[in-house]
Amino acid sequence: MSSEEVPPTSGPGSDMVAVLRSNAIRALQSSSYSCDGKCELTEEECMRVHPITETCRHHGEVVAVHAYIADLVDIVLTAIGVAFGPYGEHIYMSTSCLHGNHGYCQSNTGLCGNKIPAQCKTCAARCICGCHPGGAQERK
């Protein structure tokens, strides 16, 4: 990882980035399998049974793994709390709502200019917070 790719260590959101990064690292470490090489599985069978295998430890901690990208993505998304419904739809809650700043989520202007209120900027999923029309509180 180059210095340009390192998550911010100060400024807005830096604490959240650090927590998400830590959660993702712990999830990958705890999901990895250490193969002793004595099993009778083929490489293909092993990848199916143990999709994430450790490849390197440093000071007793897993620091590198071998895995299919899709398996890594699934574990990281789960670890950082990105939720998907049974049909693959994004279950979205605005970070501002998560932290109780409902006015920001409901506004038409964000830190970077115009935005659509209560909507994921990537996939247009609606925020599920009860502070919005159609949110969780209203659906009950």
Check residue 84 and give its pLDDT. Answer: 67
Percentage of the chain exceeding pLDDT 70: 76
pLDDT in tens, 75-95: 887 777 666 666 667 777 787
CA 135 to the chain's CA centroid: 22
pLDDT in tens, 33-84: 887 777 788 878 877 777 888 899 999 999 999 888 888 887 887 777 666 6
Which DSSP letter does residue 92 get?
B
Phi, psi of 91 (to 5 degrees): -95, 105
Q: Where are the domains of the chain?
A: 1-81, 83-140
- Report the residue count for the chain: 140
**Among 24, 19, 47, CA closest to 35:** 47
**Among 11, 13, 52, CA closest to 32:** 52
Check residue 10 and give its pLDDT. Answer: 56
